Structure 1
């Protein structure tokens, strides 16, 4: 499985990203060009990780990679634009993220996504990303079975991006109110856990890839939706926030892990997310694939060097690896070794 990833998938990701990088270099507006290039150069691993789902598309894996790279590039680009925004205007953020809704909706007319901001000269870059996604999806009739679930995940993702990027004093009240409106989706979670569950694109990539592979059905779409949201997606984003705790504290950035009462509660809840993810994905078709993704997430995130600087980090790693399975330990130790040997690192 990983042989296919390294031989076929990752080279295709590189080729697609190189094409978008060329497009980004031609963006007329200096600031938009800067953020587009930064989102590609600093977040390539998002596209590489997401593209593993292209294996589920079988013979149509190249179209799956094309969609995943384009959609993830929109996500990373908009994240940069919202993070660096001067206005912090939710109306502007909402309009920008209409592009992600349109990318999931073949037939939707393209819009002026920069309508509420001064800099709009991107030379058609964002619209081309959207239309690339649309052209892939419109070729596959099975996407009709998945589209409702895909768009629901997309709407939640867009809501999160709007609420978490507004002025600092409004962020938590907005996120809490949003959770209150959607508590029925995750009744046993805190608002910060629900927010984390909405911040992943994994469920979308899984549903789209099955659709392209011709194996999608109404039943499978329902099953994938329930298996990936909330717990698989939540585990993904909570791990991402976990390793960034110290960094975010220094920078004063929002970090959902900081809202747990203490490290014991956080550890208990992470274990719950791991166990629920394991239980739900084990019932999916291709369960070995989904388990690999699940255990790979745990192993690779916990192997990050930033974990070594966290209080109770070693205890946390031991506990999560123990409940996650043997493959999680395999990914953990292999990632640790890679980090030690990677170019540019001093071994003194």
Structure 2
């Protein structure tokens, strides 16, 4: 890692800490106050808990607002609102007694309505008993749409946004249904995919569909004065999916293995035959991410994203609970390169734990 790399990485880290994280926290504070006003007690509980326990999702995603230039606050507003929807609906599906795929799809229809810019009022809760959220979800949708309507070149990114959101919604429906049906449904989605990499398994594909990073990237770039062409949008889509997004979610499942096993939740890392194969495949996704983002504008930024993800997840105390954690961490940090180790050391040095809610509010 040369001096220029060091300075660039340090500058990105400082900007993230001093500008984007406080801005994300400001947005989250508003949505938390709205969540606390939800009339229905169950919906209120899930909305509040989704923000308080998952604020780091919006904080981390907010880094992409830096790509928006002077419009970074507008991009941040979209990112935080969209991620808040994602986390809220994930909580609702996780805590659902019905395990009804029709209900789950109806809830997540809100995420497609955003990108279709539909103004038609829909009842996303129509298939469940808990209904009255005081307009919370509808307001989140409207805030996202407001930011997209300001984009002069929205049509250039719309197709890719809908593809990404549709894959995400299919995953959220299929992974929350009756346990005995989940794998079969996920495999069917995988078999319909357009992947050209024959080494990717159904559970790695499913992981890649569960990330919102490419959506944040596209929307942030589109906020720039010049914006994106459709060809550039497709390039970003293909660079992020499946490798960068797959790496993101596989790391998330990596550190949650013990917790998910205890709770009986689906964990994609559990489908690897052994820890050696899992580590090998994670390294494969690291290397493919490195290759995939070459040629993108702001290439160094995108390198820092996946290297920062590695550093952040491998710093999480939960990683120490998994079997062979020291060997796995060592191998992944080595594969991530010098910048990953720099970020990892820096996070320990300043004790920046984005998952602590007292850093948010």
Structure 2: distance between partners of 1:56 and 1:89: 39
Deviation digits for residues 184-203 of structure 1, max 9, x if unmatched?
Answer: 46543111000000000000
Matched-pair contact (CA < 8 Å) for 1:102–1:110: no
Q: Secondary structure at the match of 2:151?
A: coil
State the Cα RMSD in Å.
1.8
Structure 2: tracts of 5 or more residues without a match: 1-11
Structure 1: tracts of 5 or more residues without a match: none
Q: Secondary structure at the match of 1:118?
A: coil
Report whether the alignment pairs 1:6 with 2:17.
yes
For 1:175-254, what aligned pairs fall within 5 Å after superposition?
Answer: 175-182=186-193, 184=195, 187-214=198-225, 215-254=227-266
Return closer, same or farther for 1:151/1:238 CA change in 2, 3 Å cut-off: same
Matched-pair contact (CA < 8 Å) for 1:241–1:255: yes
Q: Return the offset for 1:107.
A: 3.5
Return closer, same or farther for 1:52/1:341 CA change in 2, 3 Å cut-off: closer
Report whether the alignment pairs 1:299 with 2:311.
yes
Match of 2:83 among 72, 76, 98: 72
Deviation digits for residues 224-248 of structure 1, max 9, x if unmatched?
Answer: 0011000000000000000111111
Match of 1:319 among 293, 309, 331: 331
Matched-pair contact (CA < 8 Å) for 1:298–1:324: yes
Structure 2: distance between partners of 1:174 and 1:206: 29
Q: Return the offset for 1:299.
A: 1.1
Return closer, same or farther for 1:264/1:183 CA change in 2, 3 Å cut-off: farther
Return closer, same or farther for 1:183/1:260 CA change in 2, 3 Å cut-off: farther
For 1:49-198, what aligned pairs fall within 5 Å after superposition?
Answer: 49-182=60-193, 184=195, 187-198=198-209
Matched-pair contact (CA < 8 Å) for 1:79–1:161: yes
Structure 1: distance between partners of 2:353 and 2:174: 40
Q: What's the TM-score, normalizing by structure 1?
A: 0.95
Q: Which moved more, 1:106-115 or 1:239-248?
A: 106-115
Number of corresponding residues: 344
Q: Secondary structure at the match of 1:225?
A: helix
Report whether the alignment pairs 1:267 with 2:279.
yes
Q: What's the TM-score, normalizing by structure 2?
A: 0.91
Structure 1: distance between partners of 2:121 and 2:299: 37
Matched-pair contact (CA < 8 Å) for 1:83–1:165: yes
Q: Return the offset for 1:10.
A: 1.9
Q: Return the offset for 1:341.
A: 9.5
Q: Return the offset for 1:285.
A: 0.7
